[in-house]
Chains A and B, each alone.
Chain A
Amino acid sequence: MKYRSLMGAALFALSATAFAAAPPTSPDAQVEHAWIRWLPAKLPAAGYAVIRNVGDDNLRLTGASSPEYGMVMLHHSRLAQGDSTMEMVDHLDIPAHGSVTLAPGGYHLMLSQPKHPIKPGDRVKVIFEFAGGGELQTDFSVRPANASGPTD
């Protein structure tokens, strides 16, 4: 009995150490052209980027967060002939050696509830979250409301 509880305690300690020591894995992905279209009055802003999967395994993007915004969501706009629809998205798959583009009028991040005033020229940290616990941190550049892309 005593032996079993000792074993149990040892196993527990071992697994606790394992959990504590496990840092988020870094997926085989790269982020390019990351930018946020700034909007005034603390309005929700959209974030755009190209995410490249440079690994041999498919990746599933499940969300994102930022220390500078209260909430970051993955959204998808669809532009039909006469109307546009915006909806939340659970996940976005990135095939092995493929990429996804978050761009105006399509997939994008919606960053809301800024924790402090953010202005064009700033850089904002965003953490992409992947299925399986992987995380990828990227700096987004904040561009003026009427910018057409990451550098124009």
Chain B
Amino acid sequence: MSLRHRWLRLCLTAGALFALAACASHPQWQLDDVQGHLPDLKFQLTGDLGQPVTAATYRGKVVLLYFGYTHCPDVCPLTLVHLHTVLQKMGKAADDVRILFVTVDPTRDTVPVLHQYVTAFDPRVVGLTGASGEIAQLAKRYRTFYKPAPAEASSAGGYEVTHSSAIYVFDRNGRAQLLATPGSSNDEILHDLKILVEQRS
């Protein structure tokens, strides 16, 4: 064996060992890993029972953050049903997960409407609202965007609604870990949530 080959073999072995070490400390995520790329969970908003809530309220829970609004009959329900199905499959462990549904239409989404909307999908969904500035700040923090329907949309004729469909996943300590989309499969989300729930804070 030439010196060059021996050197190459040494490099490969070192590489394999390094990869193994990396595996041991980092879970094999199936969703997009955003650790270190997005800031920790932080907000001051109002819950769907009218109570003041902050990120600290959900410390100790694995949090899924999603931006939507109640006058969204197709994609927002599709996403919430998707997550509801995953939580059903998780069984008891899902008690440690909360889905935070932040309205981007706080003018129309009053606290009672928001409460009725989110609880129709799953008891572990919490609706969050607040001043439009506070919501905009949270959206900006996660580089999300939205443009909800105008209030008079039903009579105004042609209009278009755009909003981010990303689901931000935080560990029990409020650290941003993963990014899911409505296109992520049930199994991918389930796999990663199980790992996060098993981690103690």
> A interface vs B, CB < 8 Å?
37-41, 43-46, 71, 75, 77, 79-88, 104-105, 108, 110, 112-113, 144-148
Contacts and interface: CB of A to CB of B under 8 A. Distances in A.
B85 interface: yes
A110 B73 contact: yes
A40 B116 contact: yes
Contact of B160 (A38, A85, A108): A85
Contacts, number: 104
Contacts of A144: 120
B161 A145 contact: no
A112 B149 CA distance: 14
What bracket does the count of chain B residues touching chain A fall in? 20 to 34
A41 B117 contact: yes
Nearest to B68: A84
B73 A45 contact: yes
B154 A39 contact: no
B70 A43 contact: yes
B165 interface: yes
B121 A83 contact: no
Contact of A82 (B80, B157, B164): B164
Contacts of B112: 41
